[in-house]
Structure 1
């Protein structure tokens, strides 16, 4: 299982195996723990910064992580 914590300015999201699980202005620790508990053991986790111009144009994160534009 791969987890990516995507954040940009005041917006963040959590992808698990490439699928968006939750997003918003903040993700609470309790929400994160509930998601992890439902999904099982974590193999990898990372934090990546979303390109702010791209996020501003789109307004929210897409369901598929492949569509996200990341900061270089």
Structure 2
């Protein structure tokens, strides 16, 4: 995962990760913020992922995304 941004959506919550590290977490990552981060990190590699039903239950229990993307079980991604 080299110079990659990931936008992870879980119902009404989104996390923005750069190279696996959480850099922002909001109800919605605005397009302008994503573009600003793309400029800052000089990357066009942006991946959009979603939590499945198991992931939605997990994030509801956790309350927020972990600081490291690798801590999110692959089984939670849809």
With normalisation by structure 2, the TM-score equals 0.79
Report Cα offsets for 1:7-60 as digits up to 9, x if no partner: 111000111110111111011111111111111123x33222221010000011
With normalisation by structure 1, the TM-score equals 0.85
The number of residue pairs the alignment matches comes to: 71
Tell me, yes or no, if structure 1 residue 26 matches structure 2 residue 32: no
Runs of 4+ off more than 4 Å? none
- Which residue is equivalent to 1:71? 77
Gaps of 5+ in 2: none
Q: More strand by proportion, 1 or 2?
A: 1
Taking only aligned residues, the RMSD between alpha carbons, in angstroms, comes to 1.4
Gaps of 5+ in 1: none
Q: More helix by proportion, 1 or 2?
A: 2
**C-alpha separation between the residues in 1 aligned to 2:77 and 2:68?**
17
